[in-house]
Amino acid sequence: MHIIRKLEPNEVNGITERRTLNLYQDGRLNELLAGLRNAVQNHNTSAVMIWDGRSGMGKTTLAIQNAIALDENFGLHKIHFTPRTFLEGDENGKVGLANAKKGDFILFDEAMLISNRSAMSSINKMIIQAMSMIRSKTIYVGFCVNSIFDLDKNLVLHRADCLFHLYGQTLTDRGRFASFFRGRDGIDRLKQLYLYGKKFYDYSKPRSNFVGRFTKEFVVDEKLYEKEKQIGVNAFLKGFEKKTFDRNLFIHKLKEKGLTNQEIGEIVGLDRSQVWRILQESPEIR
């Protein structure tokens, strides 16, 4: 598929983006996207898509290429880096799940938080809330994450429609993906992958529905994207760090009252070893 489309000017946070798109898209990928488009436009449902792979493989690049193929009005105003704007949008023009209209593509990009397990816990809580909102919408929803195995199982097993796993033979080999979804043969390879591979983060079983390649065309203005990403990530981490500090302080206070690590863990939702590590690693907040 070859797409040539002029993206309309869109102003977000005082920034106007203008792009002309000239994009090649893999034929089998285009067929899959056409099926998703038909489902959303003609069958009163939503489509949930996931892109994963290690940092630098091009998750966001492929995601926004797919997004513009499905939503001709897609742009920076529909890409999110914090759970709040993803769910609610904002007063500066961001379109989130709450104010999305039929046919909108809303993308959550978790790229900068890949190594933070506690941050992923926060994101999974957002995803659980998002699932209830998606049911009443006829939209496309996308998640860029480090690994599908870090996501809430309810999203993967009961709501996601397809996964694009990005991979490379070497650190510099980019532009390849493997797709997993329920095929015409009735086999749900996405569900099988999650169930078989979660223990060892193994993507080898089952075989993907198909593999493909994609170009490096970034679609939206990359400099503006990086600027918005840094603003969003800083805002998320600032709030996250405060919540973490408050939780750790609460744990120390409970310990001072004589509670065991097991009892504290049951109160704050952590296991005993995590409580012990927090008590050892954050003595400065006692």
pLDDT at position 37, please? 96
pLDDT over 80 (residue 17):
no
How confident is the model over 174-232, as pLDDT tens digits? 999 999 999 999 999 999 999 999 999 999 999 999 999 999 988 888 899 998 888 87
List the one residue out of 231, 251, 253 whose CA is nearest residue 243. Answer: 251
How confident is the model over 237-274, as pLDDT tens digits? 676 666 677 778 888 888 888 899 998 988 888 888 88
List the one residue out of 40, 27, 54 whose CA is nearest residue 213. Answer: 27
> What end-to-end distance do the CA atoms of the chain give, in Å?
60
How confident is the model over 72-120, as pLDDT tens digits? 899 999 999 888 889 999 888 999 999 999 999 999 997 555 445 556 6
Please state, in angstroms and rounded to a whole number, the distance separating the CA atoms of residues 52 and 63: 10
Instruction: Please tell me the least confidently modeled range out of 4-18, 126-140, 155-169.
Output: 4-18
In order of their start, the domains of the chain are 2-220 (3.40.50), 243-285 (1.10.10)
In order, the DSSP letters of 117-152 are: HHHHHHHHHHHHHHHHHHTT---EEEEEES-GGGS-
Using alpha carbons, list the distances in angstroms from residue 135 to 80, 131, 169: 20, 7, 38
Please state, in angstroms and rounded to a whole number, the distance separating the CA atoms of residues 232 and 191: 31
**How deeply is 110 buried, as exposed, middle or buried, from its count of CB atoms within 10 A (0-12, 13-18, 19+)?**
buried
Using alpha carbons, list the distances in angstroms from residue 42 to 45, 68, 114, 158, 186: 8, 19, 36, 21, 22
How confident is the model over 163-186, as pLDDT tens digits? 999 999 887 889 999 999 999 999
Instruction: Please tell me the least confidently modeled range out of 45-54, 65-74, 242-251.
Output: 242-251
How confident is the model over 102-114, as pLDDT tens digits? 999 999 997 555 4
